[in-house]
Chain A
Amino acid sequence: MSEPSVVDESHRLLLEATTSRGRRVRNKLATVWMVGALVVALIPLAWVVGYVLIKGISSLDAAWFTEELTATTRRAGGGMGPAIVGTLVITAGATIMAVPLGILGAIYLNEYGGNGVLARVIRFMSDVMTGVPSIVMGLFIYTVYTVNFGQNGFGGSLALACLMLPIVIRSTEEMLKLVPDELRQGSYALGNRKWRTIISVVLPAAFGGIMSGVMLAIARAAGETAPLIFTIGAARAFNANLFEGQMTALSTQIFSNARVPFPAAQDRAWGAALTLVAIVFLFTVAARIVSARVARRHNA
């Protein structure tokens, strides 16, 4: 990046003296456009967050977290407990599957594949896979899993894992690239084999960066709705067993409660939205803190 402060300052003074009025006006207009764009983007953010906070906060009491979902959505009552449990358990299941596989895939790309044909194909296809819509992942898991094994939490975990896998692969690879080659050479010089070097030297060196990418992937997965609506069913009772019986999740609860015209259901949807946004922001901020800490260590 340039050093605009120095350049900008001297050059602003020069401009005042030498630039024609038309050129100065065009420059001003461009600045107005850029600042205006930022303001336009901030309005919906403030609006959404404000509404979710104000409308959602009134739903959150003790019963919200501990009670089962009500059977009569048109009337107030019941809690969101099963959905909170569902979101956490299903996302955890997806994380357990996608993160180790994604890190292994990234190790292949950066430590073994390099610029070979296979590595280039995998890299390209991971990029393509990040672009596959989440609802297609849901349909995919529906056709290969749900049709055969019925609706349960594990189907949702599988669909979310498919979404997370390419994100983890690509972000981890970027972090492995940053590990200096001298570390690897030092390890080889001590007589370590390549696999030991990767596990005990390369991965620990990149750990913070990898974690930050993983947490962003978790945040993305926890907020997803489309992959879950065909795969997990719609339970009202607590169920923490991924492999047995239907489940429910915060995102699918928001969707189903937002579709009906009853005020009580809509209040429930706002409450669920606040709970979900809190969970997602927690992971996003955690990722930020971890990556900031890593960056500081690199600079030091």
Chain B
Amino acid sequence: MVAPLTDEPKSPTGRSEDMASAMSSGRGGRGDTVFRAVAAGAGLLVLVVLALIAVSTTREAWPAFQEEGIGFLTSTSWDPAAGEFGALAFIYGTVLVSIIALVLSVPVSLGIALYANEAAPKRLRKPIVYVLDLLAAIPSVVYGLWGVLVLAAVLNDQVYVRFNDWFGSWPVLGWFFGGSTGPRSFMTAGIILAIMITPIITSLSREVIATVPSAQREAAYGMGATRWEMIRASVLPWARGGIVGSVMLGLGRAMGETIAVALVIGSFPQITTHLFEQGDALAAVVANQFGESSGTHRAALVGMGVVLFLLTILVNVSARAIVGHFDRRSKGA
């Protein structure tokens, strides 16, 4: 390693490590060297797999990238039979359903996280966390099954048709609620995703909120604040970075969710602001069409995987960066 040892922050085990290495300077150090190398190898596997994912999927998708050029990202025309592979409508669908999911899920997740940490009676706190874990444990395909066979029809009959009636011809609301309606739509996919990412955002932001020092809370209470004023003055500013980070991680999860979306989005690629119409998304189309594809069509589907991989890496890295930035700031203060 290039950096001088003294500059390295001490690991928690620093002292005893020194003692151990001082004692093992004689015979038998080989066991340690081997074990260390094996452990390091296992850690490095993570880097190897990530690099392999990028390289091997890009190579497999290359024929499609070559044929379509930048059109792969900018063209909306998707017609495997005619050899046209533009992914823009799918990228749009992925982004749109993820945004719907966030808009619906963030207020709910934050509310639960604040309730579980700040407002709920003590004996209720553990059960709340437990129940959310169960919500998170249900496999995505089961949500998809319920979504397509139960929820979609209920939403369409009870909600979409009415919203379409009321607001369909209004100036601004008409963009979202106008057009046609159907059980399988952007909105249904967004709602299913919202249900699936709520436990994730809740548990991550709950952990952040739990790190707010009680002195902060008591200071606000000491000034005569109500609980809500205390939350706004003490809890939210302190936890802001972590909360933004958890929301971004939830976004990453929503973009990559496949099976539930594949079942309820309608599998009809189009770019429209009408939320109650059918659409398609990156992960969903891969799951739905991969089995019947071949040649450039299959390459294009792998290419959508590459786009999805890059999008989620981008979202995840920025989430970690945001959390790290706020972490450093609050520790420095």
Q: Which residues of A contact B (CB under 8 A)?
A: 1-5, 7-8, 11, 14-15, 18-19, 23-24, 26-27, 29-31, 33-38, 40-42, 44-45, 47-49, 51-52, 101-102, 104-105, 107-119, 121-122, 124-129, 131-137, 139-140, 142-144, 147, 162, 165-166, 169, 177, 181, 184-185, 188, 191, 193-198, 219, 222-226, 229-230, 251, 254-255, 258-259, 266, 269-270, 273, 276-277, 280-281, 284, 288
Contacts and interface: CB of A to CB of B under 8 A. Distances in A.
B32 A124 contact: no
A44 B231 CA distance: 28
B1 A105 contact: no
Contact of B263 (A7, A258, A284): A258
Most chain A CB atoms below 10 A, which of B17, B122, B259: B259
Nearest to B191: A44
A34 B40 contact: no
Contacts of B46: 105, 122, 125-126, 129, 165-166, 169
Contact of A108 (B39, B119, B258): B39
Given A251-B141, A288-B130, A128 B43 contact: no
A139 B302 contact: yes
Contacts of A51: 146, 150
Interface stretch (B72-80, B174-182, B304-312): B304-312
Contacts of A133: 255-258, 283, 308-309, 312
A160 to B, nearest CB: 13
A139 B304 CA distance: 10
Nearest to B139: A223
B244 to A, nearest CB: 16
Given A30-B228, A258-B141, A284-B133, 15 more contacts: A1-B210, A26-B226, A27-B227, A107-B42, A122-B44, A128-B317, A134-B256, A135-B256, A140-B53, A143-B59, A193-B24, A193-B29, A195-B35, A195-B36, A219-B137
B159 interface: no
B138 A277 contact: yes
Given A135-B287, A144-B52, A258-B149, A105 B42 contact: yes
A107 B38 CA distance: 10
Interface string B46-63: 110110110011011000
Interface in B224-272: 224, 226-229, 231, 249, 252-253, 255-259, 262-263
A224 B130 contact: no
Interface in B122-160: 122, 128, 130-135, 137-146, 148-151
B139 A225 contact: yes
Most chain A CB atoms below 10 A, which of B14, B52, B59, B134: B134
B6 interface: no
B66 to A, nearest CB: 16
Contacts of B143: 48
A143 B175 CA distance: 41
Interface residues of B, number: 115
Contact of B228 (A26, A139, A166): A26
Given A128-B320, A270-B145, A104 B115 contact: no
Q: Can you list the 4 inter-chain pairs with the closest CB atoms, starting with the nearest? A: A133-B256, A114-B11, A37-B111, A223-B139
Interface in B271-328: 283, 286-287, 290-291, 302, 305, 308-309, 312-313, 315-317, 320
Main secondary structure of the interface of B (DSSP, over half): helix
B108 A193 contact: no
Given A136-B256, A185-B19, A109 B43 contact: yes
Contact of A132 (B53, B290, B291): B53
Most chain A CB atoms below 10 A, which of B10, B13, B29: B13
B31 interface: yes
A136 B308 contact: yes
A269 to B, nearest CB: 5
Nearest to B121: A5
Given A177-B12, A181-B13, A132 B24 contact: no
Contacts of A34: 111-112, 114-115, 119
A24 B320 CA distance: 37
A40 B135 CA distance: 12
11 contacts: A3-B214, A27-B226, A33-B107, A129-B49, A131-B256, A134-B258, A193-B32, A194-B21, A219-B137, A225-B141, A255-B144
B308 A229 contact: no
A205 to B, nearest CB: 13
B228 A254 contact: no
Contact of A226 (B217, B258, B309): B258
A86 B150 CA distance: 27
Nearest to B116: A38
A193 B287 contact: no
A48 B146 contact: yes
A48 B138 contact: yes
Given A37-B115, A113-B43, A273-B145, A31 B56 contact: no
Nearest to A14: B224
A266 B149 contact: yes
B45 interface: yes
A190 to B, nearest CB: 11
Nearest to A126: B46
